Amino acid sequence: MLKFFLARLLTFVPTFIGVTLISFAFIRVLPGDPIIVMAGERGLSEARYQELREQFGFDQPLIVQFWDYLTGILHGNLGMSYVTKKPVWDEFFALFPATVELSLCAIVIAICLGIPAGVIAAVNRGKFFDRALMSTALVGYSMPIFWWALLLIIVFSGNLGWTPVSGRIDLLYYFPDTTGFMLIDSLLSGQKGAFASAVDHLILPSIVLATIPLAVIARQTRSAMLEVLGEDYIRTARAKGLAPIRVSGLHALRNALIPVVTVIGLSVGVLLAGAILTETIFSWPGIGKWMVDSIYRRDYPVVQGGLLLIAGMVMIVNLIVDLLYGVINPKIRKR
Amino acid sequence: MVDATADAPRAPHHRPGRLKEFWRYFRENRGAVIGLYVFAFFVVLALGADIFAPHDPTQQFRDHTLLPPFWTAEGSWSFPLGTDPLGRDILSRLLHGARYSFFVGLVVVVLAASTGILIGLVAGFAPKWLDTVIMRLMDIILSFPSLLLALVLVAILGPTLLNAMIAIAVVLQPHYVRLTRAAVMSERTRDYVTSAKVAGAGLGRLMFITVLPNCLAPIIVQMALSFSNAILDVAALGFLGMGAQPPTPEWGTMLAEAREFILRAWWVVTFPGLAILITVLSINLMGDGLRDALDPKLKRS
């Protein structure tokens, strides 16, 4: 067991260094000198240019620059945003809770609907429910979510007027962010209607973000269930006269969940990619929108730092999923 | 999987051809057949866009801006699906947009699959250290959310359709490397490979002629999957302003241009998205059919 953990951790380190190398290379392969870009249209004098080059360490050999960058990361130093002049690290972690809140809501929706849908489809294999659910899942899986978001806005915000179009909460309410999670903060503030407003703002973006993971989870649950339902122990359970709901709901589902859990864990990358689109459309102040805005503004330190931190997050979650998978399923440890 | 080269001379006429057998399984999946027909229909529309489109896709009819589709009261038959804020015919733009989508899908799949298969074959046959290096590199690419990496690559290369295609191909290619390598690993120890080796087959022959044909099934399924992914991603990039640039009638770009009018003119938003959805859906339906037809584990015979 320990050997498996160590082996998995060992592959983490070179991959992480590779990721830092890519984000390090990013600012250096861009067309144009970053200092000139930073100076903007006013330009700057030769002396000031040299001074800045020294300040940012661009006069050092590349290998020294990379070492400085790497040690900087370990100290939580990712440079300053050109636009806001704030440390990238601080900006990222100020916006991160918004993305986590949205992603968590999305994944909860996806799990709560996706697993039952998959089970129902598998139990009714080939019948009407199976076909209807799996066709819906395939549509969800094929959905261009940026268009889906616009459609939902047209119907629910435009025609019905049920939900707001953008943001996290009405401007009426103001309270300090204690946790960064709007749902919790609004409850803590004790203001009337604040929590309801936060929920209203969250509904559409979470539905949009949940769409693809929901479809993936439903399809994966169905195929895992079908595989398990064909096994001998299920036949035994049936032969014993257990209620069908107990057989499929308990005996089969428990084993079918193993691959489903992996899919859920691995959908973090999908969620973050979806968050880029969802947050942009709903003006949700999270890291997805922050990255897109920074790309538009050519705020390269932010793009570079954000890229690294997001990849780091995905890697850490994948590592945890792999390790957990090793705990749940002993077979995998032997590889 | 059977080795085609070894089996063919033994029973040339009694077994249905591989293509025929494949078609038999594929046909059983009704969804896949529907997907194929829809896809073929769209391909024909895209190829004949010049003939079918009622207007030039970039021509602006300034007297007819934001005209609704023909079945509404103000709609007219000369602009069947209405016009956009600049007075361009939406149907014509959609038809020409289909060309971009299929072109993008095709180029991206060819690019990603050919490099990915090659690298995967090398990784599968290479000494352990090289294999490790290649797989770590692929892990690195896979640790970035695909759309984010594509966005950043386009930011570096400059926002054009070509760069968007390259970026998406780079992002999709590791999947081919992994699939090919995994397939090669399981095939490499089989007897037929050993016998080819003993017979004196060189590394190149071993890789491309002996092993590769037997690894193709999962790769073909992946190709269908990445075809639809490429169309979705390039539309997403276009939507974010980082793909094809206006006035190109690319579906994602059309959606981006229509965004501010969503509450006033539903049709400028609805149709481009519907086109993306139907195309992607038909390809995914075919992909599912391909998987069922090619996956030996699921075959009932």
Ranges of each domain in chain B: 88-293
User: Is A147 an interface residue toward B (CB < 8 Å)?
Assistant: yes
- As a whole number, mean pLDDT of residues B264-280 equals 90
**Model confidence at A335: pLDDT above 60:** no
- As a whole number, mean pLDDT of residues B164-181 equals 92
Closest Cβ opposite residue A311 in set B137, B144, B158: B144
pLDDT in tens, A311-326: 888 888 888 888 877 7
Q: How many CA atoms lie within 13 A of B292 on its CB side?
A: 18
- B interface toward A at CB cutoff 8 Å? 31, 136-137, 139-140, 142-149, 151-152, 155-156, 158, 228, 232, 235-236, 239-242, 252, 255, 259, 262-263, 266, 269-270, 272-273, 276-277, 280-281, 283-285, 288
Query: How would residue B190 be classed by pLDDT, with cut points 50, 70 and 90?
Result: confident
Q: Which chain A residues have a beta carbon less than 8 Å from that of B232?
A: 142, 144
Query: How would residue A206 be classed by pLDDT, with cut points 50, 70 and 90?
Result: very high
Q: Which chain B residues have a beta carbon less than 8 Å from that of A22?
A: 140
Peptide bond into B247 cis (omega under 30): yes
User: Is A135 an interface residue toward B (CB < 8 Å)?
Assistant: yes
pTM, whole model, 2 decimals? 0.86
Judge whether A209 and A106 are in contact, CB under 8 Å: yes
Closest Cβ opposite residue A139 in set B151, B232, B281: B281
What SS3 state is found at A98? helix
Are residues B136 and A15, on separate chains, in Cβ contact within 8 Å? Answer: yes
Beta bridge partners of A80: A87
Average pLDDT, chain A: 84
Q: Which chain B residues have a beta carbon less than 8 Å from that of A307?
A: 144, 148-149, 152
Q: Which chain A residues have a beta carbon less than 8 Å from that of B235?
A: 144, 146
Query: How would residue B1 be classed by pLDDT, with cut points 50, 70 and 90?
Result: very low
pLDDT at res. B114: 94
pLDDT at res. B291: 84
- As a whole number, mean pLDDT of residues A192-218 equals 89
pLDDT at res. A297: 83
pLDDT at res. B299: 45
Beta bridge partners of B83: B89
Which amino acid, B93?
R
Measure the CA–CA gap between B194 and B191, rounded to whole angstroms: 5
Percent of chain A with pLDDT over 70: 93
Closest Cβ opposite residue B277 in set A18, A31, A142: A142
Fold of B88-293: MetI-like fold (1.10.3720)
Q: Which chain A residues have a beta carbon less than 8 Å from that of B281?
A: 138-139, 142
pLDDT in tens, B19-75: 787 888 788 888 889 999 999 999 999 888 888 888 888 888 877 777 788 787 777
Measure the CA–CA gap between B95 and B46, rounded to whole angstroms: 6
pLDDT at res. B112: 94
Are residues A139 and B272, on separate chains, in Cβ contact within 8 Å? Answer: no
For chains A and B, CB pairs below 8 A equal 122
pLDDT at res. B5: 47
pLDDT at res. A334: 54
**Model confidence at A30: pLDDT above 60:** yes
Instruction: Find, among A217, A186, A190, the residue nearest to A202 by Cα.
Output: A186
Q: Which chain B residues have a beta carbon less than 8 Å from that of A315?
A: 143
**Model confidence at A107: pLDDT above 90:** yes
**Model confidence at B281: pLDDT above 90:** yes
Residue A242: is it exposed, middle or buried by C-beta count within 10 angstroms (0-12/13-18/19+)?
middle
Domain locations in chain A? 23-77, 91-334
pLDDT at res. A39: 66
CA distances to A90, A268, A314, B148, B224 from A10, in Å: 29, 22, 17, 26, 35
Q: Which residue has the higher pLDDT, B88 or A177?
A: B88
Q: Which CATH number fits domain A91-334: 2.70.70.10, 1.10.3720.10, 1.10.10.10, 2.60.40.1120?
A: 1.10.3720.10
Average pLDDT, chain B: 84
Q: Which of A11-15, A149-153, A228-232 has the highest mean pLDDT?
A: A149-153
pLDDT in tens, B208-245: 888 888 888 888 888 988 999 999 999 999 999 888 88
Are residues B156 and A144, on separate chains, in Cβ contact within 8 Å? Answer: no
pLDDT in tens, B113-143: 999 999 999 999 888 899 989 988 898 888 8
pLDDT at res. B146: 85
pLDDT at res. B6: 45
Closest Cβ opposite residue A144 in set B235, B266, B283: B235
pLDDT in tens, A75-91: 888 888 878 888 988 89
Q: Which chain A residues have a beta carbon less than 8 Å from that of B138?
A: none
pLDDT at res. B300: 43
Q: Which of A110-119, A221-230, B153-162 has the highest mean pLDDT?
A: A110-119
How far apart are the CA of A49 and the nearest CA of chain B, in angstroms? 23
Percent of chain B with pLDDT over 90: 27
The complex scores an ipTM of 0.85
CA of B31: which chain A residue's CA is closest? A135
**Model confidence at A213: pLDDT above 90:** yes
pLDDT at res. B13: 54
Backbone angles phi, psi at B83, to 5 degrees: -125, 160
- Interior CA angle at B227 toward B223 and B233, to 5°? 135
Strand (E) or helix (H) holding B222: helix B216-239
User: Is A12 an interface residue toward B (CB < 8 Å)?
Assistant: no
> In which region does residue A85 sit, left (phi positive, over 0), alpha (psi from -120 to 50) or beta (all else)?
left
- As a whole number, mean pLDDT of residues B258-266 equals 83
Query: Cα torsion at B248, B251, B254, B259 (round to 10°)?
Result: -160
- As a whole number, mean pLDDT of residues B149-165 equals 87
pLDDT in tens, A120-172: 999 888 889 899 999 999 999 999 999 999 999 888 888 888 888 777 777 77
Query: How would residue B7 be classed by pLDDT, with cut points 50, 70 and 90?
Result: very low
Q: Pull the structure tokens for residue A106.
A: 């999305």
- As a whole number, mean pLDDT of residues A58-66 equals 79
Percent of chain A with pLDDT over 90: 23
